[in-house]
Homo-oligomer: A and B are copies of this chain.
Amino acid sequence: MRYVDNKAEDVKIAYIGGGSRGWAWGLMSDLAMAGDMSGEICLYDIDHEAAKANETIGNMYNSLPETLSKWSYKASKTIGEALTGADFVVISILPGTFDEMESDVHSPEEYGIYQSVGDTTGPGGVVRAMRTLPMFEEIAENIKKYSPDAWVINYTNPMTLCVKTLYRVFPEIKAFGCCHEVFGTQDILAKMASVLFGEEIKRKDIKVNPIGVNHFTWLTKATYRNIDLFPYYRQFCEKYKDGCTEYVDPEWLKGFHGNAHKVKIDLFRRFGYIAAAGDRHLAEFCEGKWYLESPERVESMLFHLTPVWSRKDELKERLQKSKRLLSGEEELKIKKTGEEGVKQMRAILGLGDFVTNVNLPNRGQIPNLPLGAVVETNASFTSGTVTPVVAGEIPKEIYPLISRICTQQEVLSDAIAERNIDKIFEVFANDPLVTCSLCEAKELFNKMVNNTKAYLTDYNLGG
């Protein structure tokens, strides 16, 4: 890498999971629009053909007229090849297939346990972690070996445990985890403020203090200019206590990701702080009987369960799109994602500071969560540096909710590191969503493990 006229050239990015349809194209778009960076992206994927396809698609961006910056894409045959010499490593993988995810999400339904996402927490999150973390151990070992100085950006879920595993295996790693869930809440605040102050206010103008763990992040402060938004949000929540559909696209509302912020609003009214993730995620960290008791309850809370068949359908659609793009049947377009990965890279390269929320091991940014646990707070991104800001103590009212999740994840990290099935089960059994009896919990766990055993070869599963 070198700097020429305030531009960073020859930047090398290794992309683990680089065969992805969707995520990868978003990153390609964002990189194409980063005018002061250029270089090479090495795509590594266990599905090498998919990586090859993305190599072709990626290089097609260079010919688009709007492209500000050219990048050379290359599918790497080995992870070592991809990582060697990398300045940045991006990790975005799907652990297993959607068949495994189908088991994660839907098996618990037989026991009255409903999950709106099923990839982070709850029974699905636990079993997904079981197959993901061994992969992250291997990735961390490879980074240690091939690119110990690279900056590592993770997008894979379960976010907290993936980042934790990277640091557990290679403590000197310069890794952080990115997630856009907080942005959505900033958007709501921006819309609220736009109405209030009669001017168009953007997400980035809403400043917040996020605190918690990924997908269960809360805001203890929210400001616009020198104005505290909490009193306004309180009024907003009273007004929209039955859900806010006003700022919401009615089509989106009907879709599986759509929601009317009713869970978020209810949590504010109950606990006094702003829950800052989509309702589908928030609901999964609460007691199972609160918001996910039954499909009817979910409906009445104006959000949706995301069935895995919908993900399968989407994937099929994206595979088709990939083909169309490759064949030229569909025209490639640059579409910025709103993700901040590229902005973060630029900051680290010294091309523009900013502060945003990320997932990092706790060094004291949240003094009342365990040191070393991966937490989500703001961090200052600048030249060669990502430093968390002091988010402060989690307020008493929401502390039992958040610390329970955080400390359960700490046990799960250990348990998976030890490949200790019994210990993993105890985390499973103590999860807020596991509302069945202990005996049924055991039965369910065994089923879910058995369903996904093709990806659990590292564990001694008995029989």
Contact = CB atoms under 8 A, between A and B. Distances in A.
Interface stretch (A25-33, A127-135, A321-329, A387-395): A387-395
A363 B391 CA distance: 9
B438 A1 contact: no
Nearest to A379: B389
A353 B350 contact: no
A226 B348 contact: yes
A211 to B, nearest CB: 11
A437 B293 contact: yes
B385 A207 contact: yes
A403 interface: yes
Interface in A169-192: none
A349 interface: yes
Interface stretch (A68-76, A232-240, A365-373): A365-373
A223 B385 contact: yes
A3 interface: yes
A397 B426 contact: yes
Contacts of A400: 404, 407-408, 411, 430
Contacts of A410: 396, 399
A383 B208 CA distance: 9
A227 B8 CA distance: 13
B225 A349 contact: yes
A172 to B, nearest CB: 13
A178 to B, nearest CB: 18
A343 to B, nearest CB: 13
Given A407-B400, A438-B290, A228 B384 contact: yes
B226 A87 contact: yes
Given A226-B87, A349-B226, A207 B382 contact: yes
Interface residues of A, number: 69
Contacts of A379: 389
A355 interface: yes
A315 interface: no
Contacts of A441: 289
B370 A368 contact: yes
Nearest to A422: B270
A437 B411 CA distance: 28
A99 interface: no
Contacts of A429: 287, 290
Given A350-B225, A430-B400, A389 B392 contact: no
Interface of A is mostly: mixed
B392 A390 contact: no
Q: Which of A225, A367, A435 has the most CB of B within 10 A?
A: A225
A205 interface: yes
A225 to B, nearest CB: 3
Contacts of A385: 207, 209, 221, 223
A226 B380 contact: no
B350 A224 contact: yes
Q: Which of A228, A293, A400, A401 has the most CB of B within 10 A?
A: A400
Contacts of A23: none
A392 B228 CA distance: 29
A364 interface: yes
B407 A403 contact: yes
Contacts of A221: 385
Contact of A383 (B207, B270, B390, B438): B207
A434 B207 CA distance: 37
A389 B209 CA distance: 12
A339 interface: no
Contacts of A20: none
Contact of A380 (B290, B363, B380, B438): B380
Given A270-B422, A399-B407, 19 more contacts: A87-B226, A205-B350, A224-B383, A287-B429, A287-B430, A289-B438, A293-B437, A353-B355, A363-B367, A368-B370, A378-B387, A380-B389, A387-B389, A389-B389, A389-B390, A390-B390, A399-B410, A403-B403, A403-B404
17 contacts: A207-B384, A223-B382, A225-B349, A225-B350, A226-B350, A227-B383, A271-B426, A293-B437, A297-B437, A353-B354, A364-B364, A378-B380, A380-B380, A380-B389, A390-B390, A396-B411, A400-B430
The 6 closest A-B pairs by CB, nearest first: A225-B350, A223-B384, A226-B384, A223-B383, A207-B383, A400-B407
